[in-house]
Structure formats: C-alpha cells, structure tokens
C-alpha cells in the first residue's frame, strides 16, 4: 500500500515543490508525495522548475496549491519545511505524523541557491522520509 506524504511550506513555490519531486523520484515505488502551501503563491519559482528539469524529475503536474485542496487525502506523514508552515500547520486526523525540517528559502536568489536547496533536501529530507515510513 502506497504511503502518502505531504510537504508543507508557506508559498509552495520552491522548497516544498523540490521536496515533492525528489520524494516521488527517489521513493515513488512506495511513497506518493504531495506539496502545498499554507498561503500558496499560485506559482512555481522558475529556478525551482529549472533545477528539477536539470535533474530530469520535473513533471508538468507540479504546481503551487493551497492546503485546502488536499485535505481529503489521508497522509501518513506531513513535513513542514519552513518555520511559518510549522507554526501554522493544522491538525491532521488519524495517525498522521507531523515533523519539521526547515530549509533556507532560495526565492529571490540565484540559481546556485536552488542547487544548494536541492542538495540539502536530498541529503536530509529523503532519509527522514525513509525513517518515518519504514
């Protein structure tokens, strides 16, 4: 049975999109990842899309979405990747684990900051997901 993970951020334009794509790429045979924002921007940052394209894991279905659009899904794990999302994260029903793993926001910075974010998410978040859902 596929486990479901939600990566939650404020704007759902950079970090959470990168994390969603990485989880689906690295663990997609057993885990289905989603992302959303507590105040979604409605746009994916062009550099976030670019890093995912460079890594060959971009999918056109990735987009910035509001949390309310995903509340019908029973998540096994919710990961907040920014302090604001951690502080405003709603209560999820059932046995949903909620963990916080913050990353610096690369929005407004150069492409190299998105490369750094990608690397940090891959090195820190992927092992965390494996641990919690094993």
CATH value at residue 45: 3.40.50.2300
What distance lies between CA 110 and its chain's CA centroid?
20
96 DSSP 8-state letter? -
Q: How many CB atoms lie within 10 A of CB 128?
A: 14
Q: Rounded mean pLDDT of 111-128?
A: 97
Lowest mean pLDDT, pick from 48-52, 67-71, 90-94, 97-101: 90-94
Q: In this structure, are strands 31-37 and 97-100 parallel, antiparallel, or unpaired?
A: unpaired
Adjacent-strand bridge partners of 33: 5
Helices (H), the chain: 15-27, 46-54, 83-88, 111-120, 126-132
Note down the domain range covering 12: 3-132
Q: Rounded mean pLDDT of 73-86?
A: 91
What are the residue numbers of the active site?
9, 82, 89
Q: Among residues of the chain, what percentage have pLDDT more than 90?
A: 83
pLDDT reported for residue 122: 97
How many domains does the chain divide into? 1
Q: Is the pLDDT of residue 133 over 90?
A: no
Q: Is the pLDDT of residue 5 over 80?
A: yes
């Amino acid at each position: 049975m596929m486990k479901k993970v939600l990566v939650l951020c404020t704007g759902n334009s950079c970090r959470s999109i990168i994390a969603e794509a990485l989880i689906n790429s690295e663990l997609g045979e057993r885990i289905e990842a989603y992302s959303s924002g507590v105040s979604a921007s409605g746009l994916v940052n062009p550099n976030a899309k670019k890093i995912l394209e460079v890594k060959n894991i971009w999918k056109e279905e990735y987009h910035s979405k509001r949390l309310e659009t995903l509340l019908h899904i029973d998540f096994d794990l919710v990961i907040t990747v920014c302090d604001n999302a951690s502080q405003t994260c709603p209560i999820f029903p059932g046995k949903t684990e909620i963990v916080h793993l913050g990353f610096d926001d690369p929005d407004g910075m150069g492409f190299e900051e998105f490369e750094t974010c990608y690397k940090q998410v891959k090195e820190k978040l992927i092992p965390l997901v494996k641990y919690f859902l094993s």
